[in-house]
Chain A
Amino acid sequence: MKLKGYAGKQLRVQLTDAVIKEEEINLELLKKYLGGVGYGARLLYDELAPHIDALSAENKIVFTTGPLTGKNIPGGGSVEVCFKSPLTNLWGESRCGGNFGPELKASGYDFLIVEGKSDRPVYLLITAGGVQIKDAGHLLGKTVGEKTQIIREENKDAKLSVMCIGPAGENKVLFSTIMDEDRAAGRCGAGAVMGSKNLLAIAVRGSQKIEAEHPEKFRDATRKAMKAVRENPNTENFKEHGTVGDIASCDLLGDWPTQNWRSNSWGKGEELYNYFYEHNLVGNFGCYSGCPVGCGRMVKVDEGRFKTPVHGGAEYESITAFTAFVTNDNMDAAVHSTYLCNEYGIDTISMGAVIAFAMECYEKGLIKPEDTGNLDLSWGNPEVLPLLVKQVAEREGLGNLLADGVMRAADKLGHSAKEFAIHGKGLEAPAHDPRSSKALAVTYGTANRGLCHIHPLEGQAYDLGKSDFGLIPHGLKDPEEVDRWDAKDKGKMVKILQDGLVLPDILVNCKFMMYCGFTIKHFADIVSGLTGWDITEEELLKIGERTINIQRLFNVREGCSAADDMIPERMKSLPQFGRYKDEARCAIVNYADMLEDYYLARGWDKNGIPTRDKLASLNL
């Protein structure tokens, strides 16, 4: 009997010997993990040996979809990429919006596993005509836009969905991305893993329809979810302002990391956003066909030395990384630099963070003018931003040091550099500040892929944004009754939030749907209609918990423990300047207590290791 709600097969491509294999999916495993970062984590836990070099042929990279991937499902334009991260040497995952996920599924594959290493540059072509490994020598050194265009032209299909790396991935920059046009599988260095395999791109076009077991129930559940999204006030906010519209508010609320985390506010957020709205913003767009939100920004710089064509970009995180992180108040330079990051295939967050780190090194004399090729790395200098992006992408000059991220750069520079290399598990910190909301401190510290902007965000949205995500019936305390400055019960609440908010990454659906009205009940109803499995909210949350635990086990096997769940001292300290300088409640003085509270709620021991009882209760 055909599996409903899924394509039902996985594709395995072994590049070393150019072997292409179609495999049946293990149904028992699928029911335990559903897809996405759950299925991907189980597969990599089982198939990767511990302590392998993430940039060797032994690493694998898995492109995953899930039951909620598809053009007929709100938020369904998603793909989750899973791998061992070369930046953290731990669990790596990265989500990308766009049409690639739906196209992969429509081509007949829920999962694409790439392993081994090609001896020459290649790309994969997956169409109704079959799967081919094609020569990609002519794509070497090309930008993301160029690679995408060439692949479409030479295959005479303008609608091919293409995910590719830029020069940064080819040069194995440890925070390089895989791009789907303007959207990125951005964090943890997926681009370097692809580059290490000599795989420059994957192009896919599918035509198969995914059938539902109970079509009427599926349609009804989807309609209800869509209605919830349309009626949610956050949807309109996202449409009108995008994520970047948040910078003025975050600045005022003490949620805007500034000058390499010396402060949590700058005072320029409003002025910068007003400039952006007037000069850079062209309009909004959805990153995949049929998105009901359309949070994407079409932006440009009309003239001057930072002139930039109209493109999709300027997200909250990217713009913060190139403004507040480095105290640059030239918005044109920020828009231009993030555009370059996209074209070169670089994670904008890590890139802004390494520049902020370099600027502090320069201020302290750890990086000298002769080390920079006489670039002036003074705080806020807009001129050096695009230059450093290119240097990192090409690993030229100072760029070669920065291309390995702040943790390794600090190790090489020595002295006090470690004190202001702001990362968690090796991943550079993103653009929300836990000094504004204590739950964010715990989600930051305990996120399996490191200090990222996706998983921990529920901590901020709960404490500061007062979102409950429909989790109150599952034990979450009403956020309206919670003080964002208070540490009490935050560890416990974070466990519930994480189990629920990992679901979009398992079902492979855009997380913003949960920020715009999707609840666990919507997920349960849609999955039940699709698969006929009659899955409950409780079962979904259990799958969320199982996924977090299998990812944790992946990390524990690599040597990860409670010490790796610590967050940088500067992130916990009172801001050195700005409107919250004298606000004592900003300081995080009881992080260890919150962490202990979290481990207890998780059923992990004091060292952050899942107990045997906990694993048994999760059938692990």
Chain B
Amino acid sequence: MIEITVRAVSTLKTKFQTPAVVPLPEGSTVKDLLSACEVDHNRVIVLLNNMQVNINHKLNHSDQVTILPFIIGG
């Protein structure tokens, strides 16, 4: 298992308590993490250790992930 620290930004915080440590099987991706947090991957942007990554990015133990609500436009 790997453990990922997740921080949700802004009103996404109302969806789940953060920062949270989420345990996941080895080889899990950002998409798996979002599923575990019950967040729709189509509605967010994910930063891994402060840099933007796509949902297929593979996670490592102790990665720090930030989930942002993203509104395209405006």
Contacts and interface: CB of A to CB of B under 8 A. Distances in A.
Contacts of B42: 233
Interface in A12-33: none
Given A270-B10, A277-B11, A480-B54, A457 B66 contact: no
A511 interface: yes
Contact of A246 (B43, B52, B54, B70): B70
Interface in B1-42: 9-11, 40, 42
A174 to B, nearest CB: 25
A248 B10 contact: yes
Given A233-B43, A480-B54, A315 B70 contact: no
Nearest to A232: B42
A273 B43 contact: no
A238 B40 CA distance: 15
Interface string A501-525: 0000000000110010000000000
Given A245-B11, A248-B10, A277-B11, A484 B52 contact: yes
Interface in A211-247: 233-234, 236-238, 240-246
Given A233-B42, A270-B9, A277-B11, A249 B73 contact: no
A579 to B, nearest CB: 7
Interface in A77-113: none
A464 B42 CA distance: 14
Nearest to A585: B51
Contacts, number: 80
Nearest to A277: B11
Interface string A240-263: 111111101100110000000000
Contacts of A466: 54
A511 to B, nearest CB: 7
A465 B70 contact: yes
Contacts of B9: 248-249, 252, 270
A457 B54 CA distance: 21
Contact of A316 (B45, B54, B74): B74
A347 to B, nearest CB: 16
Contacts of A236: 43
Interface in A457-507: 457, 461, 464-467, 480, 484
A274 interface: yes
Residue from B45, B52, B73, B74 having most chain A Cβ neighbours under 10 A: B74
Given A233-B42, A252-B9, A253-B45, A457 B71 contact: no
Interface string A285-320: 000000000010000000000000000000111000
A357 B44 CA distance: 34
A480 B70 CA distance: 16
A242 B11 CA distance: 12
B34 to A, nearest CB: 12
A241 B40 contact: no
A234 B71 contact: yes
Nearest to B70: A249
Contacts of B11: 240-241, 245, 273-274, 277
B68 interface: yes
Nearest to A460: B72
Nearest to A240: B11
Contacts of B40: 233
Which interface residue of A236, A241, A317, A515 has the most chain B CB atoms within 10 A? A241
Given A233-B40, A252-B66, A238 B47 contact: no
Range, interface on chain A: 35 or more
B50 A579 contact: yes
B73 A511 contact: yes
A274 B72 contact: no
B67 to A, nearest CB: 10
B73 A273 contact: no
B73 to A, nearest CB: 4
A244 B74 CA distance: 7
A243 B52 contact: no
B66 A512 contact: no
A464 B47 CA distance: 12
Contact of A249 (B50, B54, B71): B71
Contact of B47 (A246, A252, A295): A252
A234 B44 CA distance: 10
A510 B70 CA distance: 19
B66 to A, nearest CB: 7
Given A240-B11, A270-B9, A273-B10, A245 B52 contact: no
A450 B22 CA distance: 47
B55 to A, nearest CB: 9
A467 B72 contact: yes
Given A245-B10, A249-B9, A480-B54, A317 B72 contact: no
A245 B73 CA distance: 11
Nearest to B47: A252
Centre residue among A253, A317, A467, A484 by max chain B CB count within 10 A: A253
A242 B73 CA distance: 10
A466 B43 CA distance: 12
Contacts of B73: 234, 238, 243, 457, 461, 511-512, 515
Interface of B: 9-11, 40, 42-43, 45, 47, 50, 52, 54, 66, 68-74
29 contacts: A233-B42, A234-B72, A236-B43, A238-B71, A241-B69, A241-B71, A243-B73, A245-B11, A245-B69, A248-B9, A248-B69, A249-B10, A249-B45, A249-B71, A252-B66, A253-B45, A273-B10, A277-B10, A295-B74, A316-B71, A316-B74, A317-B74, A461-B72, A464-B52, A465-B72, A466-B54, A480-B54, A512-B73, A579-B50
7 A-B pairs closest in CB distance: A243-B74, A465-B72, A316-B74, A515-B73, A233-B42, A249-B68, A248-B10
Interface of A: 233-234, 236-238, 240-246, 248-249, 252-253, 270, 273-274, 277, 295, 315-317, 457, 461, 464-467, 480, 484, 511-512, 515, 579
